Amino acid sequence: MSNDNPPADHVVSDSNHSGIPIEENIKSRSTWLRALFMVAFYVIGTVVTAVLSVVVVLAFFWVLLTGEKNGQLQQAGQVIAAYLYEIVRYLTFNTEDKPFPFGNDLPSADAAE
């Protein structure tokens, strides 16, 4: 085997396209701050999902008992869905805009539609 060619099982990592060493990424304050916000929004998202579950159950029983939809529960569900969407977009790096309460305003029922 010549010294010019690496062994077949040798993997060359070219994942660092920006030219910044991994050490700088690890030491980056903004990366760790983002991680802190991500943990906070994950916890907030979990609580909001529980609230959405209550709204869903209440809306079902409202329809079951009255035969009609409750507009306030519909609006609450729409706002919660829009807020969860913003949280998921932030957690998946699809936006840098922080959702409420650390950035954007809470979505309104009108804006959520």
Residues 59-91 pLDDT 10s? 999 999 999 999 999 999 999 999 999 999 999
Q: Does the pLDDT value for residue 10 go beyond 50? A: no
Q: Does the pLDDT value for residue 5 go beyond 70? A: no
| 64 assigned to some structural domain | yes
| 31 assigned to some structural domain | no
Spell 44-81 as b/e; 16+ CB within 10 A means b: bbeebeeebeebeeebeebeeeeeeebeebebbbbbbe
| 113 assigned to some structural domain | yes
Specify the number of domains making up the chain.
Answer: 1
